[in-house]
């Protein structure tokens, strides 16, 4: 999209400055969340929860100030081309402002504090296989999410209010119809797929795959599909994710099983798919709608494309089997087709 305002109005410039300030706060929060997932010492949790509560609350207050609504309204009076950078920014600023102003800043602070504490509870519960450790936090989160839906408002389903945050325009009723249409075809595929899966020995790939070898192979594959390691990295977490901390700073994570290298490999392929999308966004518009992902559905389509359509294909393994054997010699006993 090309800019159409050689001399943007003062209100647009004020919005740019304000939204970039909000962006710095949110990206700082994301860096702290990444650190919590990767390297933060356990005793720092209470402090980290307060940091995130403050930063997210401050960002929310700045983004929902009455002056922001006035600046957006002034921009809307201008003759902006809908498909221009300015037009797209103003349109999304309006949508985001109208939603955010319905949610009290105190709620945002409370939720971010709870989310940070609950995450560590979930991690401990997962490691010990003890759901009861996480149950109280989960109950609180669900209750707060329901409150958020009420704040945002909806016509048919509380999920509509929440879905709008990730997939603008989508509604629960539409998804229900979509899956009803897909169900017959999926059911028809399921039987043959299960039969084929049952014919594969359960522990065919089970072996010994040292952590360092997995890390080296995963990086090699991620680089080959285009992930830029001068603008990103891979670290270890309980559950894989991708987060962008700023322009030129995209972080991937994965988890490892030294008896099954595919656990980390497909985690990296999936998250690198997200990372490729993030690294492909225009960095000059970072923090603005024109430089942001259009929806979670589009984002997930990229990660699943690389993980499953590419990574589990015969052609992928025809290319990568010899390289995998360099890192994992015992794979040499299997054919490409077996892998």
DSSP state of 284: G
Q: Which two tokens stand for residue 273?
A: 């798919």
pLDDT of 5? 47
Average pLDDT for the chain: 95
Q: Which residues are catalytic?
A: 271
Residues 6+ apart with CB under 8 A from 131: 125
Residue range 206-217, pLDDT digits in tens: 999 999 999 999
Per-residue pLDDT, 78: 86
pLDDT tens-digit readout, 93-113: 999 999 999 999 999 999 999
pTM: 0.92
Arithmetic mean of pLDDT, 116-125: 95
Domains of the chain: 10-168 (1.20.58), 211-333 (no CATH)
Query: What's the rounded mean pLDDT across residues 324-338?
Result: 94
56 within 8 A of 113, measured Cβ to Cβ: no
The answer to whether residues 171 and 131 touch, using CB atoms and an 8 Å cutoff, is: no
Residue 1 in this model has a pLDDT that exceeds 60: no
- CA 106 to chain CA centroid, Å, is 25
Report percent pLDDT > 90 for the chain. Answer: 94
In 3D, which of 239, 244, 269 has the Cα closest to residue 254?
Answer: 239
pLDDT band at 9 (very low <50, low <70, confident <90, very high): confident
From start to end of 189-326, where are the E strands?
232-236, 242-246, 249-254
Predicted pLDDT of residue 7: 61
Give the DSSP H/E element, type plus range, for residue 36: helix 10-38
3-state secondary structure of 261: coil
pLDDT, mean of residues 50-57: 98
What are the tokens at 51?
């940091």
Q: What's the pLDDT at 213?
A: 98
Total number of residues shown for the chain: 339
- The pLDDT tens digits for 16-39 are 999 999 999 999 999 999 999 999
Q: How many CA atoms lie within 13 A of 188 on its CB side?
A: 5
CA distances from 123 to 38, 40, 128, 132, 263 (A): 12, 13, 9, 12, 18
Integer Cα distance of 49 and 26 in angstroms: 14
- pLDDT tens digits, one per residue of 265-282: 999 999 999 999 999 999
CA distance 311 to 308: 5
Mean pLDDT value of segment 50-56 = 98
pLDDT at 81: 86
Enumerate the β-bridge partners of residue 244. Answer: 250
Helix, strand, coil shares of the chain, percent, nearest 5, are 70, 5, 25
Encoded tokens for 224:
């080959």
For the segment 147-197, what is each residue's pLDDT rounded down to a tens digit? 999 999 999 999 999 999 999 999 999 999 999 999 999 999 999 999 999
């Amino acid at each position: 999209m090309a800019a159409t305002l050689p001399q943007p109005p003062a209100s647009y410039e004020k919005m740019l400055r304000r939204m970039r300030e909000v962006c710095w706060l949110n990206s700082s929060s994301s860096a702290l969340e990444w650190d919590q997932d990767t390297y933060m010492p356990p005793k720092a949790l209470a402090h980290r929860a307060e940091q995130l509560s403050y930063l997210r609350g401050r960002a929310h207050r700045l983004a929902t100030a009455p002056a922001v609504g006035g600046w957006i309204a002034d921009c809307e009076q201008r003759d902006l081309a809908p498909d221009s950078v300015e037009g797209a920014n103003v349109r999304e600023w309006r949508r985001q402002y109208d939603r955010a102003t319905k949610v009290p800043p105190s709620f945002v602070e409370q939720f971010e504090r709870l989310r940070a504490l609950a995450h560590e509870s979930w991690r401990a519960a997962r490691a010990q296989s003890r759901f009861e450790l996480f149950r109280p936090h989960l109950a609180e989160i669900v209750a707060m999410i329901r409150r958020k839906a009420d704040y945002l408002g909806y016509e048919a389903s509380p999920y509509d209010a929440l879905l709008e945050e990730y997939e603008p325009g989508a509604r629960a009723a539409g998804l229900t119809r979509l899956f009803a249409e897909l169900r017959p075809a999926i059911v028809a595929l399921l039987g043959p797929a299960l039969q084929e899966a049952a014919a594969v020995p359960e522990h065919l790939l089970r072996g010994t795959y040292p952590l360092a070898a997995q890390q080296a192979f995963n990086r090699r594959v991620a680089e080959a599909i285009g992930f830029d390691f001068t603008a990103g990295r891979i670290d270890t977490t309980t559950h894989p994710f991708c987060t962008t901390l700023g322009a030129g700073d995209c972080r991937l994570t994965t988890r490892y099983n030294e008896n099954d290298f595919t656990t980390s490999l497909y985690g990296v392929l999936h998250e690198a798919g997200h990372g490729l999308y993030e690294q492909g966004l225009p960095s000059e518009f970072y923090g603005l709608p024109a430089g942001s992902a259009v929806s979670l559905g589009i984002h997930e389509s990229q990660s699943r494309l690389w993980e499953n359509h590419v990574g589990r294909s015969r052609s992928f393994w025809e290319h990568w089997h010899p390289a995998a054997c360099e890192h994992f010699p015992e794979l040499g006993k299997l054919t490409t087709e077996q892998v």
